[in-house]
Amino acid sequence: MIPLKHRITNTPLSAFGLLACLAIFSSSQATPDTDLASQLSATISETESIPTLASLRKALSEGSITSEEITTKYLERIAVLDQSGPNLRSFISLNPDALVQAKASDRRRRDDRLLGPLDGIPIAIKDNVETSDPIPTTAGSTALMNYFSNKDSPIIESVRNAGAVILGKTNLSQWANFRSTYSVSGWSSVGGQVKNPHILDRTPCGSSSGSAVAVAAGLVTLAIGTETNGSIICPAHTNGVVGFKPTVGLLSTEGIVPISNSQDTAGPIATTVLGAAALMDAMTSSAHDFESELENASVAGKKIGILRFAQGDRDDINAAFERVLGVLRGLGAELTEIGSFPLPDSQFWVDELTVLETEFAALIDRFLSDRKLKSGPQSLTELIEFNQINSAVEMPLFGQEHFLSSLKRAGTNSPEYQSALQNVRRAARSQGIDQLLAIAGSDLLIAPSGPIAPPIDVINGDVWPTRVGVGYLAAVAGYPHITVPMGVVQGMPIGVSFFGASGQDSLVLATAHAWQTASKIFPHPKFVPSAVARENLAQTQRGLDL
């Protein structure tokens, strides 16, 4: 999640067909004598042609590629881009059984007994989600480095039953960004600092930073993230990919390191909305068929409320947003302007913190005690003590203010908590998104997803520009929210958000898919070291020779 103090050349991947898929995924592995710089350059240049889920499935179905070949290629790219080269550090661990799972999928395909549409497709899992693979679930902390659950969380069980290959666990903001008020997004003591592949010294945002970066950099096509307040949407926005936060309760949160039972949810991160919908289908293991509902997706006649109060004052972001609105009008959408929205709860952020810290204290105690770790903390109190004893490793950059404050909360039966929960829910639901939809007579709401990603700041923690977007309303309400890339500003991608009422997940996905199909905006990372290293800005740093 985002700390409470700081909320806040386009080529369509879907256009790449079988030939591009084969060109990238059938290239032979470099020999030991290959020049490392040339290998890195070639791997980076491939990024613009990394195939989408649709291309991979087509190639698999036609027998032109195998799951083993796809998985091997991803592992090669991880070695070059994640573990060396720019050192993105988007993965904490790789699954030693990934190739075994891929080969099993290939056998099923040969025997015509596929498990589902994702059979043979590698996916990445945020490292706060339990899996039965021989890799730990750490939440980014050395306190859990030796925790092997040996059991799939329900969403992973569903994905595995659909035939997906578990490629590995992705890095994250430690404890899902709920340890300190001065946290650094994308940093964990286990995985180090995740880097944004577009400009390496800009924040990847969090807490699902590793999942978003892995997808953006072409290290995997699909990834699972989690969100309490912005942890899927923000990293997807800043890394130029699709992130979908479903209605809270649609996906099971069992087996996920918790923060809040009222706001926690898992969700997909993908290059395309279609990919996100396909992963949602695999995770739900229910009657939902989100992907098929995209086939005839249209915004014609859809009423969409424009949240003008949430767009900020940057001309470049607003220009991109206006282009989005122009495309939607051209597709037949009916747009209504909403100019202002005062939060009905004057103590909204105070109440929100009360809710999160109270729920966290109860949930993390239960999570740790239920697992009966052979080594490691079994309560929040023991976790705080662990961090203090191991402060050089766990707290070199920031403290554990949220942990300490959570320990002092009165509990979920206290009048303070109950009042705060009612206040924030009313503000975000009946007097928030529900009211905004009613004011505009709209089916959906739209706004920019956020500001341009700031630099990583290990001294001050996350320091964000003026807030853009209202993702916090959807997070607190528990309503569906999706971000889709809408352009690039100064080398950094920015996203546009679609919001819906509770349970309107299909409508949100379908509208976003229609927009993405029409816009054909798919930002590709350039792996630039810093903003001023960009060619068009380098001269501005040198000044004039007078």
- Report the catalytic residues: 126, 207, 231
CA nearest neighbour of 373 among 142, 183, 529: 142
Residues 6+ apart with CB under 8 A from 260: 228, 355, 356, 359, 360, 363
3-class SS letters over 314-361: CHHHHHHHHHHHHHHHHCCCEEEEECCCCCCCCCHHHHHHHHHHHHHH
Residues 6+ apart with CB under 8 A from 290: 277, 278, 280, 281, 505, 506, 509
Q: Pull the structure tokens for residue 147.
A: 């925790």
CA nearest neighbour of 22 among 73, 79, 96: 73
311 and 279 in contact (C-beta within 8 Å)?
A: no
What's the longest Cα–Cα distance across the chain? 74
496 and 468 in contact (C-beta within 8 Å)?
A: no
Residues 6+ apart with CB under 8 A from 237: 205, 243, 449, 450, 483, 493, 494, 495, 497
Distances (CA, A) of 36 to 85, 262, 482, 518: 9, 48, 38, 39
169 and 139 in contact (C-beta within 8 Å)?
A: no
DSSP state of 180: -
Distances (CA, A) of 220 to 79, 123, 230, 381: 13, 6, 22, 37
Q: How far apart are CA 380 and CA 391, in angstroms?
A: 16
DSSP state of 295: T
- Cross-strand partners of 244: 482
Distances (CA, A) of 15 to 187, 250, 388, 421, 460: 35, 31, 52, 46, 42
- Residue 226, CA atoms < 13 Å, CB-side half-sphere: 35
255 and 132 in contact (C-beta within 8 Å)?
A: no
Q: How far apart are CA 332 and CA 299, in angstroms?
A: 6
- Residue 95, CA atoms < 13 Å, CB-side half-sphere: 27
**What's the alpha-carbon Rg for the chain, to the nearest Å?**
22
Q: Which amino acid is at 216?
A: A
445 and 436 in contact (C-beta within 8 Å)?
A: yes
Q: Pull the structure tokens for residue 530.
A: 């810093």
